[in-house]
Amino acid sequence: MKRRRSELTREQNKIRKWTAVQARFKELYDVERLRIDDVYDRLAEEFFISADQVHFIMRQDLEVSEEIAEPGPNQLDLFTGERFDQRNQPVEEAPKCS
């Protein structure tokens, strides 16, 4: 069975991941108001990278081309718990049965 190759190159995937790390950093630091060392530790756990790598990523000035879209709201669903439709409108979840 052949493995399907991703349409994006390794460089493009790396930039997408780094963009997601930077977006999550802004959310944790600016919105949740965590200390910076706690943000580095949490990002290291969430993205399975070292805190030093997180620090390196945060120092990068990423230029995202049109080919590489920023992570969509559904890609960050793990962190926010919210769901969005194609027009970036929040989707109401069905009531949970108890």
Q: Is residue 3 part of a domain?
A: no
Q: For the chain, how many structural domains are there in total? A: 1
Determine, yes or no, domain membership for 85.
no
Residue 40 located in a structural domain: yes
Q: Give the pLDDT of residue 23.
A: 92
The one-letter amino acid at 95: P
Predicted structure pTM score: 0.59
pLDDT at 64: 64
Q: pLDDT tens digits for the chain (98 residues)?
A: 555 566 678 888 888 899 999 999 999 999 999 999 999 999 999 999 999 999 999 999 877 655 555 555 555 555 555 566 666 666 666 556 65
Does residue 92 form part of some domain?
no
**35 part of a folded domain:** yes
Name the helix (H) or strand (E) containing 49: none
Structural domain contains residue 62: yes
Question: What was the pLDDT predicted at 32?
Answer: 92
Q: Is residue 67 part of a domain?
A: yes
Residue range(s) defining the domain that contains residue 50: 10-80
Q: Does 31 reside within a domain?
A: yes
Question: CA-CA-CA-CA torsion for 22, 20, 11, 54, nearest 10 degrees?
Answer: 50
